[in-house]
């Protein structure tokens, strides 16, 4: 009789593992706010990813029914708090469409200038935060250094950094300041003395000149980084059919290869603003993409944002030129208690994160009967359970981060 | 195609019982659809080569009610709830607005939520938008795979965007008002 010694090196192949429910959030640092993802995992592999939202629900639509439109502008700041100017603009345009208010020409160019600056600031955060999601810290610091200067300029223009309420119904609350103190950050970056005074538009141009070459540095830091490509390329692929069916918009849609931008394809009240401006609409596939990249993956969504920053810089420059060449007021007066007509309008605008829509029903009263804010991130997020199926757990933050969501806008 | 042509095509195909009058005096004209015909109309709008409305921009509910008895005479609408669908076609670059109206309560029994067929099988995003509409406006969507509250907690009572909504007195020991 021989003794059988079990070989300790034998690997057991038929291990039975139980599925596990993992709660990610709502206090998880890489979920961009109070998003809770309920993951059903088998070991490392995610079988199901259910987003739970609503932790930041502030009843924005109900509040809107009890306020007149100009009073509601500050609430739009708090929707997408990283692109407050663009939210202001979207809501103001919807009210103008309803009340048929016409914005003076100078106000229109001012709006383009401010909205595109807001887009740059928002995409910079998107870039920095995405780096954080993937575990690299330095792009975040660079992005915030640049964004800080834009916020300083916003502060000079309207007094607030995040909750601007600057673009309002009928134009902007007031014109840009003539001369400002150069922001400390920009002064030290460009070798000027802090506290020196320059015309506002000169400071803006200084900043753009400084920012433009930096974008290409970020490409070496992130976009072309081998580890970054490994974490993003070919992952979280969103097919164009799925993107359209799930109502994805903005960089998420264009990253999937659908060339659609409301600045060009939207309603006339919005596209008229951009008449005479020249810009490209960056859309996947990109000729200069690394060869691992697939249309609709994380890398494409990220790259669309980066390329949009370049377009926005050019748009801001064009807007400065037009703004200087157009004298006149920036605002058509809109009375606070003006009655809204018995009519209803829906208007979507191209915000940094996608198409933000406002649906207004007027009923002959000062307050709208119904105010609906359709959020772009809400739609973009709804696709997560489809694109997170079967990916390793560590890739979930990479995929959700590439959608660039802001919970304030999703929950409203 | 403009709204009149689309309305004509729908009328020809589905008949007057299913497709109501298109309202043209509004800035954004819309086509009224009967609740029973909604899924068939939506499917047609999504698939037909002249329509190709592949993108559901927005789906929301509106409650038409004036709770203040003094203002009710001037309100100008019969009490009802509406579901509004904003569609667009990315290929043909056209837009359309559909409306479905139902009474505020099913069979006019207060507390019984009205029912509208779900279009979540046609547009993926309708799934979440219908959940939100159920949550805030209180409309049930028949055929929805997962009709749960989305923004409010699951044990919340009432639907906040109803005009006669009253904020709860307390919620899990927290004073409401």
What does the pLDDT read at residue A8? 60
Residue in chain A lying closest to B56 (CA): A247
Token code pair at residue B152: 């409010």
- C-alpha of B48 from chain center: 22
User: Which of B28, B132, B151 is opposite residue A344, by nearest beta carbon?
Assistant: B28
Q: What is the pLDDT of residues B45-97, one digit of tens each?
A: 888 888 888 889 999 999 888 888 787 777 878 888 999 999 998 888 888 88
Q: What is the pLDDT of residues A32-86, one digit of tens each?
A: 778 888 888 888 888 888 888 888 888 889 898 888 888 899 999 888 888 899 9
Q: What is the pLDDT of residues B9-29, one digit of tens each?
A: 888 888 777 777 767 677 788
Helix-, strand-, coil-residue percentages of chain A, each rounded to 5: 45, 15, 40
Q: Which of A4-13, A222-231, A252-261, B2-11 has the lowest mean pLDDT?
A: A4-13
Does A13 have pLDDT greater than 70?
no
Does A1 have pLDDT greater than 60?
no
What does the pLDDT read at residue A6? 65
Chain B contacts of A345, Cβ < 8 Å? Answer: 27-28
What does the pLDDT read at residue A7? 66
Disruptive mutation site among B55, B91, B148, B159 for chain A (greatest number of A CBs within 10 Å):
B55
What does the pLDDT read at residue A316? 92
Question: What is the least distance, in Å, from the CA of B9 to any CA of chain A?
Answer: 24
DSSP code of residue B122:
T
Token code pair at residue A110: 């001012």
Mean pLDDT within A297-302: 90
Disruptive mutation site among A50, A346, A412 for chain B (greatest number of B CBs within 10 Å):
A346
Q: What is the pLDDT of residues A34-44, one digit of tens each?
A: 888 888 888 88
What residues are paired with B64 via a beta bridge? B80
Percent of chain A with pLDDT over 90: 19
Report the C-alpha dihedral over residues A175, A181, A186, A190, rounded to 10 degrees.
120
What does the pLDDT read at residue A119? 92
Q: Which CATH superfamily is domain B3-165 in?
A: NADH:ubiquinone oxidoreductase Nqo5 subunit (3.30.460.80)
| SS3 call for B26 | coil
Asked if A86 and A80 touch (Cβ cutoff 8 Å), the reply is: yes
Q: What is the pLDDT of residues A87-108, one digit of tens each?
A: 999 999 999 998 888 889 888 9
Asked if A81 and A111 touch (Cβ cutoff 8 Å), the reply is: no
Separation of alpha carbons A179 and A234, rounded Å: 49
Mean pLDDT within A164-191: 87
Banded pLDDT at A122 (limits 50, 70, 90): very high
What does the pLDDT read at residue A54? 86
Nearest CA to A343 among A317, A380, A369, A316? A369
Does A401 have pLDDT greater than 60?
yes
Question: What is the least distance, in Å, from the CA of B107 to any CA of chain A?
Answer: 24
Separation of alpha carbons B102 and B114, rounded Å: 7
User: Which of B56, B125, B152 is opposite residue A54, by nearest beta carbon?
Assistant: B152
What does the pLDDT read at residue B92? 84
Nearest CA to A386 among A230, A237, A247, A244? A237
Q: Over chain A, what is the mean pLDDT? A: 87
- C-alpha of B79 from chain center: 15
State how far the alpha carbon of A290 is from the alpha carbons of A190, A262, A294, A395, B171, in Å. Answer: 34, 28, 9, 19, 53
Token code pair at residue A198: 């320059």
What does the pLDDT read at residue A10? 60
User: Which of A258, A355, A382 is opposite residue B127, by nearest beta carbon?
Assistant: A382
Does A15 have pLDDT greater than 70?
no
Q: Using CA of residue A61, residue A66, residue A69, residue A70, what is the dihedral sign?
A: negative
> DSSP for A147-195?
HHHHHHHHHHHHS-SSS---EETTEESSPPPSEEEPPHHHHHHHT--TT
| SS3 call for B19 | strand
Separation of alpha carbons A371 and B32, rounded Å: 20
State how far the alpha carbon of B104 is from the alpha carbons of A188, A223, A375, B35, B116, in Å. Answer: 62, 53, 26, 14, 12
Residue with more model confidence, B8 or A93: A93
Separation of alpha carbons A199 and A177, rounded Å: 8
Chain A contacts of B42, Cβ < 8 Å? Answer: none
Does B117 have pLDDT greater than 70?
yes
Mean pLDDT within B115-142: 90
DSSP code of residue A331:
B
**Taking CB atoms and an 8 Å limit, are B58 and A357 in contact across chains?**
yes
CA contacts within 13 A on the Cβ side of A76:
34
**Which stretch of DSSP H or E encloses residue A374?**
strand A370-374
Q: What is the pLDDT of residues A279-293, one digit of tens each?
A: 989 888 888 888 888
Q: Which CATH superfamily is domain A20-411 in?
A: Cytochrome-c3 Hydrogenase, chain B (1.10.645.10)
ipTM: 0.87
Q: Tokens 């099988």 sit at which residue?
A: B121
Mean pLDDT within B38-42: 89
How many of the other CB atoms lie within 10 Å of CB of A388?
22
Percent of chain B with pLDDT over 70: 98
Does A4 have pLDDT greater than 70?
no
State how far the alpha carbon of A74 is from the alpha carbons of A43, A55, A81, A132, in Å. Answer: 46, 20, 11, 30
Separation of alpha carbons B41 and A105, rounded Å: 42
Separation of alpha carbons B141 and B119, rounded Å: 8
Separation of alpha carbons A242 and A248, rounded Å: 8
Q: Is the peptide bond before A404 cis (omega within 30 degrees of 0)?
A: no
Asked if B83 and B105 touch (Cβ cutoff 8 Å), the reply is: no
Token code pair at residue A10: 């034998």
Separation of alpha carbons A166 and A158, rounded Å: 6
Q: What is the pLDDT of residues A187-229, one digit of tens each?
A: 888 888 888 888 999 999 989 998 988 888 888 888 888 888 8
Asked if B60 and B129 touch (Cβ cutoff 8 Å), the reply is: yes
Question: What is the least distance, in Å, from the CA of B119 to any CA of chain A?
Answer: 12
| SS3 call for B121 | coil
Residue B89, φ and ψ in degrees, nearest 5: -110, 120
Q: What is the pLDDT of residues A329-370, one digit of tens each?
A: 888 888 777 888 888 899 999 999 889 999 999 888 888 888
Separation of alpha carbons B142 and B135, rounded Å: 14
């Amino acid at each position: 009789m021989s003794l059988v010694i079990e070989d300790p090196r034998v690997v057991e192949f038929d291990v039975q593992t139980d599925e596990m429910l993992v709660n990610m959030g709502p206090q998880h640092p890489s979920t961009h706010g109070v998003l809770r993802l309920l993951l059903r995992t088998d070991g490392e592999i995610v079988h199901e990813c259910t987003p739970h939202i609503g932790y930041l629900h502030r009843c924005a639509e109900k509040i809107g029914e009890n306020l007149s439109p100009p009073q509601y502008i500050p609430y739009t700041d708090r929707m997408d708090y990283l692109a407050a100017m663009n939210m202001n603009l979207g809501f103001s345009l919807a009210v103008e469409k309803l009340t048929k208010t016409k914005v003076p020409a100078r106000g229109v160019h001012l709006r383009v200038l401010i909205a595109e600056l807001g887009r740059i600031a928002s995409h910079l955060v998107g870039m920095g935060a995405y780096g954080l999601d993937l575990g690299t810290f330095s792009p975040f610091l660079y992005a915030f250094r640049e964004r800080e200067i834009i916020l300083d300029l916003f502060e000079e223009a309207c007094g607030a950094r995040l909750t601007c309420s600057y673009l309002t119904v009928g134009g902007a609350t007031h014109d840009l300041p003539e001369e400002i103190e150069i922001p400390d950050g920009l002064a030290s970056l460009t070798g000027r003395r802090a506290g020196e005074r320059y015309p506002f538009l000169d400071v803006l141009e200084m900043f753009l000149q400084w920012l433009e070459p930096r974008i290409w540095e970020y490409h070496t830091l992130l976009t072309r980084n081998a580890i970054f490509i490994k974490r993003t390329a070919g992952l979280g692929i969103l097919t164009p059919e799925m993107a359209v069916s799930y109502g994805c918009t903005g960089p998420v849609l264009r990253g999937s290869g659908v060339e659609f931008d409301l600045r060009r394809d939207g309603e006339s009240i919005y596209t008229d603003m951009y008449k005479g401006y020249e810009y490209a609409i960056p859309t996947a596939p990109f000729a200069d993409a690394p060869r691992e990249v697939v249309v609709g993956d994380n890398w494409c969504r990220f790259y669309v944002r980066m390329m949009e920053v370049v377009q926005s810089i050019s748009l801001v420059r064009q807007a400065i030129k037009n703004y200087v060449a157009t004298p006149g007021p920036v605002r058509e007066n809109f009375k606070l208690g003006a009655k809204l007509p018995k009519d209803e309008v829906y208007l979507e605008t191209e915000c940094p994160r996608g198409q933000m829509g406002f649906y207004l029903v007027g009923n002959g009263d000062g307050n709208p009967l119904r105010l609906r804010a359709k959020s772009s991130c809400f739609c973009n997020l709804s696709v997560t359970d489809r694109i997170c199926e079967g990916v390793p757990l560590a890739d979930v933050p990479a995929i959700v981060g590439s959608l660039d969501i802001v919970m304030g806008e999703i929950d409203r | 195609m403009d709204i009149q042509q689309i309305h004509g095509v729908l009328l020809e195909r589905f008949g007057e019982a299913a497709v109501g009058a298109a309202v043209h005096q509004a800035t954004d004209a819309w086509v009224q659809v009967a609740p029973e015909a909604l899924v068939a109309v939506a499917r047609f709008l999504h698939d037909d080569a002249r329509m190709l409305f592949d993108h559901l921009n927005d789906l929301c509910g509106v409650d038409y009610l004036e709770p203040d008895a003094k203002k009710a005479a001037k309100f100008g609408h019969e009490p009802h709830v509406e579901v509004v669908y904003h569609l667009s076609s990315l290929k043909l670059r056209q837009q359309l607005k559909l409306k479905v109206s139902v009474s505020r309560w099913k069979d006019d029994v207060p507390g019984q939520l009205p029912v509208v067929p779900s279009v979540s099988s046609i547009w993926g995003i309708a799934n979440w938008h219908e959940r939100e509409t159920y949550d805030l406006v209180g409309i049930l969507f028949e055929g929805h795979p997962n009709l749960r509250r989305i923004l409010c907690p699951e044990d919340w009572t009432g639907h906040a965007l109803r005009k006669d909504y009253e904020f709860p007195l307390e919620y899990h020991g927290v004073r409401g008002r």
